[in-house]
Structure 1
Amino acid sequence: MPAEILSYREDIIFLGRQHIELVCWAGSLAILTGLPVGAILSRPAFRRTSEFILQIFNLGTTIPTLAILALSMTILGIGIVPSIFGLWAATLLPIVRNTFTGLRSVPAPLKEAARGMGMTASQVFWRVELPNALFIIFGGIRTALAICVGTAPLAFLIGAGGLGELIFTGIALYDLPMMLAGAISTALLAVLTDFLVGRLQYYLVPRGINPLR
């Protein structure tokens, strides 16, 4: 069986690159969107409406990913663009939620002390709130990227390629080695992604705030 799985190594490399490309695009867009939105919702001005807005983002996880991809396909057509949009919608919530939660969980005395030292609201955010929230924020990014890697095989169904081609073609042809080649590669890619982001978390989160150090 291992030899039969390795016979697909050229396909794994080629389709793995497509898979990584999808994850990089969708994950990057989710981070660029989720971090600012979570930060804005954590501000006092949104105290009453933040939970309602978060429930809107929660639709990305409530609705099955395949349904999101199908809806995006009807609007954007077939290929990479609707796949990236669907994966972005499916992975956005953990980043928004953890950014919001991390910033909200910063102890009030720390912020009051910073303001007492004469810091502006912007300085308090960048020098006090954000560093203390980084560990929780990174947790959301790790979760989001793992979800993105795990759901990206579904993008094959709307013409975006990726390791899903091996998985679904193997299922259709009753070819177990082909299916396992795609499934095992996807699982290893998810583990590797989580490990790499975890390393970034270890080195970028300040000492004393990061419980891993």
Structure 2
Amino acid sequence: MSTSPESAFNTESGSRGADRTRLIAQPLAVIVLVGAVLVWALTRNNDAIEQRSLNPGTLAADTWQHLLITLAVALIVVLVAVPLGILLTRPRARRVAPLFLGIANIGQAAPVLGMLVLFFLWTSWEGFWCAVLPIAFYSLLPVLRNTIVGIEAVDPPLTDAGRGIGMSSSAVLFRIELPLAYPLILAGLRTSLVLAVGTATLAFFVNGGGLGEMIDTGYKLNRVPVLVTGAMLAVGLALLVDWVGAVMEEYFGPRGLR
């Protein structure tokens, strides 16, 4: 059964319309849900223990620390995974690509809590960077794999045509291969960011801060409002980061592929 061009066009237009509606609805839903939880948490009759966590200063500080961990992880992942992925697609390095992908797979397959504790025991560090580095290793795979897959998926005739008109290898990379691979790279970065937000809740195990401290406090002291507020802030931050990734995919990819 064949599909008419009009039907295919309508389906594609409907899909893109749904994606754009989601780009508007997702942040609004996050604002409404998180705002409702914050209003409930801050206006209820909290006891002295709950007030230590459920106050604007502490909530802002923990959320900001969580966001800083996520941003630091994202920066490390981009600076490591994208250049490494590019290098592993070059003819001389393709033989070792499975080795590096295997190492990145180990990072994501291993429990992140175990990596945090082992890194702490190995380095005797604690604090921000003791949390950021293992989480970055855990979040590396999606960007590395998508960079390799995106570049290797570029049609050889396109790169051959670039070389045929006198482009250098670097010009072919930056003007043909990378622009066409951007959608997959951005999709990998979006996944890594969401992983980073989720695993950053474990940073408190090594005194890294973040919303995990509030969640842990609420759990250990049986303070449900503290636990729910910390969890909802982490969920809201993950959804906002996912939304930022979706916006980047929609508006920063090659114009012809949008």
Q: Structures share a fold, TM > 0.5?
A: yes
Structure 1 stretches (4+) deviating beyond 6 angstroms? none
Q: Aligned letter for 1:195? A: W
Q: Mind listing any 5+ residue stretches in structure 2 that lack a counterpart? A: 1-35, 44-53
- Give the equivalent residue in structure 2 for 1:194: 242
**How far apart are 1:4 and its partner, in Å?**
4.6
CA contact (8 A) 2:187 2:245 kept: no
Residues 1:31 and 2:83 are matched in the alignment = no
**How far apart are 1:76 and its partner, in Å?**
4.1
5 Å-filtered alignment, 1:123-202, equals 123-202=171-250
Residues 1:6 and 2:42 are matched in the alignment = yes
CA contact (8 A) 1:6 1:181 kept: no
Q: Mind listing any 5+ residue stretches in structure 1 that lack a counterpart? A: none
- Give the equivalent residue in structure 2 for 1:44: 91
**How far apart are 1:149 and its partner, in Å?**
0.5
Equivalent-residue separation in structure 1 for 2:252 and 2:120 (angstroms): 38
CA contact (8 A) 2:139 2:196 kept: yes
Q: Aligned letter for 1:60? A: G
Q: Aligned letter for 1:47? A: R
CA contact (8 A) 1:156 1:164 kept: yes
Provide Cα deviations, 1:110-166, integer angstroms capped at 9, x if missing partner: 111111111111111011000000000000000001100011010011111110011
CA contact (8 A) 1:27 1:145 kept: yes
Identity %: 36
Structure 2 counterpart of 1:58, from 95, 105, 109: 105
**How far apart are 1:52 and its partner, in Å?**
2.0
**How far apart are 1:49 and its partner, in Å?**
2.0
TM-score, normalised by the number of residues in structure 2 = 0.78
Q: Aligned letter for 2:97? A: S
Provide Cα deviations, 1:75-125, integer angstroms capped at 9, x if missing partner: 142211211111111111111111111111111111111111111111110
**How far apart are 1:63 and its partner, in Å?**
0.8
Query: Which structure has the greater CA radius of gyration?
Result: 2
- Give the equivalent residue in structure 1 for 2:114: 67
Compared CA separation, residues 99 and 122, structure 1 to 2 (3 A): same
Q: Aligned letter for 2:117? A: A
Equivalent-residue separation in structure 1 for 2:80 and 2:97 (angstroms): 16
Equivalent-residue separation in structure 2 for 1:6 and 1:41 (angstroms): 51
TM-score, normalised by the number of residues in structure 1 = 0.93
